[in-house]
Amino acid sequence: MRLITQQQQQQQQSTHTNDEIKSKWKKQVGAAKTTWSKLTEGELTKVVGHQTKLTGLVQERYAITREDAEKQVKKFFAQNK
């Protein structure tokens, strides 16, 4: 019988969570494209749901403050769970 260490278990859970995020993000790209039309589908696909990366793109593309971009991104994720 093989024993799984706590670290291995955490890695498995992390991988599972990342896979879920990626799967959900593929579905959310369309909604994100509608919300931020200045972002390309390729850019949205690359960020794979990472809020920090998406915030940076929104801030850069729309020439807004980091705070405003963070608010928009948080609102988007709250509405598109």
* Domain layout of the chain by residue ranges: 30-81
Cα 32 to the chain's mean position, in Å? 10
Class for the domain spanning 30-81: mainly alpha
What's the start-to-end Cα distance of the chain, in Å?
39
Higher-scoring residue by pLDDT: 11, 77: 77
Backbone angles phi, psi at 40, to 5 degrees: -80, 160
Residue in the block written with tokens 């019988």: 1
Rounded-to-integer distance, Cα 11 and Cα 36, Å: 33
User: pTM above 0.95?
Assistant: no
The predicted-structure confidence for 8-48, as pLDDT tens digits, reads as follows 555 554 444 567 767 788 888 999 999 999 999 999 999 98
Rounded-to-integer distance, Cα 18 and Cα 57, Å: 21
